[in-house]
Chain A
Amino acid sequence: MVYHFEFGALIPYIPVILHGVLITVELTLFGTVLGIIVSILCAWARSGGPLWLRVPVGTYVELIRNTPFIIQLFFIFFGLPSVGVHLNAIDASILAMVINLGAYGTEIVRAGITATPRGQREAGASLGLSGPQIFRHIVLVPALSRIWPALSGQVVIVMLGSAVCSQISVQELTYAASFIQSRSFRAFEAYFVVTALYLILALLLRQILRLGGKRIFPGGKAR
Chain B
Amino acid sequence: MPLISLTNLHKSYGQNEVLKGISLDIEPGEVIALIGKSGSGKSTLLRCINGLESFQEGSILVAGTSVMDSPNQLRLLRQKIGMIFQQFNLFPHLTVGRNVMLAPTVVKKTRQGEAEALAREMLDRVGLEQKFDAYPGQLSGGQQQRVAIARALAMQPLALLCDEITSALDPELVNEVLAVVRDLARQGMTLVMVTHEMRFAREVCHRLVFMHQGRLHESGPPEQVFNAPTTAELQQFLGMQ
Contacts and interface: CB of A to CB of B under 8 A. Distances in A.
- B is a partner of A: yes
Interface of A: 117, 119-120, 122-123, 125-130, 133, 137-138, 141-142, 145, 217-220, 222-223
A127 B92 contact: no
B220 interface: no
B85 A219 contact: no
A128 B76 contact: yes
A214 to B, nearest CB: 13
B128 to A, nearest CB: 16
A137 B102 contact: yes
B135 interface: yes
B209 to A, nearest CB: 21
Contact of B50 (A126, A133, A219): A126
B206 interface: no
Interface residues of B, number: 32
5 contacts: A126-B82, A127-B82, A129-B102, A138-B91, A141-B93
Given A142-B93, A223-B92, 11 more contacts: A120-B89, A128-B75, A128-B103, A128-B155, A129-B103, A130-B71, A133-B107, A137-B102, A217-B93, A219-B92, A219-B95
Interface string B79-95: 10111010101111111
A220 B138 CA distance: 9
B94 A127 contact: no
B155 A127 contact: yes
B47 to A, nearest CB: 8
Interface in B176-212: none
The listed residue with most B CB atoms (<10 A of its CB), out of A120, A128, A138, A220, is A128
B92 A119 contact: no
Contact of B78 (A126, A141, A222): A126
A125 B136 CA distance: 19
Contacts of B90: 123
A220 B52 contact: no
Given A130-B75, A219-B92, A219-B93, A122 B102 contact: no
Nearest to B105: A137
A119 B85 contact: yes
The listed residue with most A CB atoms (<10 A of its CB), out of B78, B92, B106, is B92
Interface of B: 50-52, 71, 75-76, 78-79, 81-83, 85, 87, 89-95, 102-103, 106-107, 135-138, 148, 151-152, 155
Contacts of B87: 117, 119
A125 B137 contact: no
The listed residue with most A CB atoms (<10 A of its CB), out of B103, B138, B148, is B103
Given A138-B91, A141-B93, A127 B136 contact: no
A185 to B, nearest CB: 55
A177 to B, nearest CB: 43
A137 B148 CA distance: 16
Nearest to B135: A219
A47 to B, nearest CB: 18
Given A128-B103, A128-B107, A219-B95, A123 B137 contact: no
A223 B138 CA distance: 14
A220 B92 CA distance: 8
Contacts of A219: 92-95, 135-137
A200 to B, nearest CB: 32
Contacts of A123: 83, 85, 89-91, 148
The listed residue with most B CB atoms (<10 A of its CB), out of A119, A125, A126, A222, is A126
